[in-house]
Amino acid sequence: MDIAALKAELISGHPGTGAYNADDALAADELNAVNRTRPLSSMTGSEVINAVDATEWAALTDAQQQKVWDIVHLGEVNPFGVEATLLIGVFGGGSDTITALAAARAPAASRADELGLGIVYPGHVQNARA
């Protein structure tokens, strides 16, 4: 646990809700609450292909399937870059695949996750406040 980073967060307050509760257990709960998203800077090809809906995949032409394979074989895929635009072009904006990819590129997270703190326990908060 990075107590210095936790202390800085407790002093500055939550960016969305302000000051943390004075009770250590409640402050830890606020930090651990999964109530935000954390946009990813990259996704693996495997993460992308696992979001593809099987029925939609089967409906693609060979050329469209090849375009998807070309994208996922880049290695690291920018989920907000040209790759995303190309996948929307293949599957369509309202498709189950694009909906799943949109969720996968910005997974649910807690403030503690965003800060790289892992799970925060009341004892951590108490130490940071000491």
Question: Tokens in use for 65?
Answer: 């399937």
Residue 108, helix vs strand vs coil: strand
Q: What burial class does residue 130 get, using C-beta atoms within 10 Å of its C-beta: 0-12 exposed, 13-18 middle, 19+ buried? A: exposed
Residue tagged 């606020």 (tokens): 30
Tell me the C-alpha distance between 6 and 112, whole Å.
Answer: 9
Q: Is the CB of residue 112 less than 8 Å from the CB of residue 33?
A: no
At residue 38, the pLDDT reads 87
Q: Is the CB of residue 114 less than 8 Å from the CB of residue 78?
A: no
At residue 14, the pLDDT reads 81
Low-confidence residues in the chain, pLDDT < 50: none
Angle 117-42-118 (CA atoms, 0-180°, nearest 5)? 10
Residue ranges of domains in the chain: 3-36+109-129, 43-104
Threshold 0.95, pTM exceeds: no
